[in-house]
Structure 1
């Protein structure tokens, strides 16, 4: 088992990509903390992992709330004795052209994606540093950490920002053997993406099928969505990698949508 007895704190993990990462980590022996805005769903996901033979707890946390984040991390430490892996995955999507974006929605997007990443990182790093056994910080970026798309100004801005945060954490964390990396998926057909399809169709004046074919998957090499399995495989690589040789990096998983 690649993650035996490691403690993984995963935000936005009650569904979608976060849940798939939790399943893979649990299968590899990690103790899982499912942190989600929906506490009931977090606990239900944790119960699924335990039923499958894993160790897990579910905690409710709004990642934009400093006190809630600190309390959730403390609950994780109390349950499992430390934090070895942070997966900062919580996110939402709101789509509008820039001239129609409300300031409130702009601030909400940046708060969840960037403030949430900062608050969870800060809370987890304190424990990673103190326990002296290193750690791995993993940010859920996007192809939009590298590219831009119409209608997504705050999302693109936030996802670009995660790369800067990652590089700083990689430099600061190195002396503590803490690595930091970013996963940059293409479109994954999660509820977040499903919600965007009709929204973009309406805004762009095209069919939902055209949104999928000519907007979301246009630049891929094969017209295929990235899967939660694809993303979880990269999350396992970053979590299990044994040295600082792999840190401060961003890996794109997008069927060739963006090539470096």
Structure 2
């Protein structure tokens, strides 16, 4: 075979390779969300069976990437975030793991698997990292509220206000004390909704450090002195106080505040990142 013939053959072989790769990618892109979830679960199971530590960690990271891809395409739920968190935790990505568990509990405060894994992941952080209090009943009561749109929130508040005022008016008009007294129930709920709106929403300002070795500084400048002896590790949970052109001022659970680069932080509220 001549040189030109061999060159032509190689070119056609490369064309065939790219055609096959294109077919595979096309089939992958056409996979349903359920199939994507099954693929991620299979990847997680495969990683569990690996003996080599490096290969095992990379397998879990691949599984986490697959779960992230699913969450980008479907409406999030607590189970998907819990699976992402478990894969990220096994893959050594503490920031992504704690963020995922927090988001799972935001969507479903009673999700026991996420609560247990979050508690375990927090225990793996350095002892000097302050930890927030466990999610309480108030956070659970308003979980449905945080996932609704502003229009839905306004409509819900208006409905309870009308129920309260209507009950009062009806009870006074027809002299029915029971109806008038029952106005207390929608009235209390309306006040809680109003307070929720004034406070900006439970968990709205919560965030998780997702970048390893994040330098915390005394001001919003790269030249500002460090706030702490150690950089903040990925997985540290904070609250956001303010933002300025690439910088975010945060407060830790021990009430110490500092500045970090905004790129090192992810908000807990799932609706803020979608």
With normalisation by structure 2, the TM-score equals 0.31
Q: Rg bigger for which structure?
A: 2
More strand by share: 1
Greater length-normalized contact order (CA 8 Å, ≥ 6 residues apart): 1
More helix by share: 2
With normalisation by structure 1, the TM-score equals 0.32
